[in-house]
Amino acid sequence: MTELHDAPCPAPDGVAGMYDHASVLLAEVTGGGLPLGYWRGHDRSTSVADATDATDALTGLVADRLALSPGMHVLDIGCGSGRPAGYVAQTYDVRVTGVTIGSRQAGPVRARPGAGEGRGRVTFARADGMALPFPDGGFDAVYAIDSLLHMDDRAQAIAEAARVLRPGGRLVLANPYVVGALTVAEAGIVAAGRALFRMPPLGDAGDYLRHLGAAGLDIVEILDIGENVRRGHALAAAAIRHAGEGQDGASRQRLFEAADIIERFGALPQVSYGLIAARAR
């Protein structure tokens, strides 16, 4: 069977609230809100330091596909903690604008080292990826890491990304999606993960390809890296369980249940993860 579609699609305010809560929790436990990362080889470590390296590795895979040159202006849709934007700006000597819908994220990321105008610098703002407050063709490249999966109208989000991208510029998406059929039990795990993270149905890679084509973008590359990102779920689950140890009663139970959902969701082979690079005509 395919995904269960009974969970309601999240409203932007609900997604913002989820990100704000998750940001506080992960900042307390891991020292910062870490997105999924790219893990190489067979090392099973899930330390915070290794997770930071894995996050940078995933960001590098995305940025390498943007065809960046020094001085370009890049948009990060759903910039989260701001670390990926800072990494891209400093590594590739470009200017990055990061947007997030979470109010508690928007404030702290503005104070990150490297924030400011100019090459190798980052500016941050609070904005909805489905209604970007930028002019047409204002960016040389656009990317979105683990953000479009939370948007209830991905076609609109991709159309907005394409609108603000100059002709010839590249858009790179990094997101989980479903591959193959799910049993009833597996569909239930996916539905629980969606409810926890305020996600509409994950869909498959074909959904993203159709939205990109409708937005006037040509596909450059599709890369499945599902097996390289699974350890990020294990880190998040471990961090949340650790936080639960310091709680009592219902709070402890909720955190432990959330950790179990994250771990089971990330372990499903049908939940993969891909990079899709496209070019504006």
Q: pLDDT-based confidence at 10, cuts 50/70/90?
A: very low
Beta bridge partners of 143: 76, 172
* pLDDT tens digits, one per residue of 29-40: 444 444 578 988
* pLDDT tens digits, one per residue of 207-248: 999 999 999 999 999 999 999 999 888 888 888 888 788 888
Q: In the chain, what are the domain boundaries?
A: 12-280
CATH, range 12-280: 3.40.50.150
Beta bridge partners of 178: 271
Distance in angstroms (rounded) separating the CA atoms of residues 174 and 110: 23
Predicted confidence (pLDDT) at residue 97 exceeds the cutoff of 90: yes
Q: Is the dihedral of CA 25, 127, 52, 65 positive or negative?
A: positive
Q: Name the CA dihedral angle for 221, 222, 227, 231, rounded to a multiple of 10 degrees.
A: 80
Distance in angstroms (rounded) separating the CA atoms of residues 157 and 15: 15
Predicted confidence (pLDDT) at residue 42 exceeds the cutoff of 80: no
Q: pLDDT-based confidence at 258, cuts 50/70/90?
A: confident
Tokens describing residue 17: 């609230």
β-pairing verdict for 271-280 and 217-224: antiparallel
Distance in angstroms (rounded) separating the CA atoms of residues 7 and 74: 34
**Strands annotated E in 25-79:** 73-77
Rounded to the nearest integer, the mean pLDDT of the chain is: 84
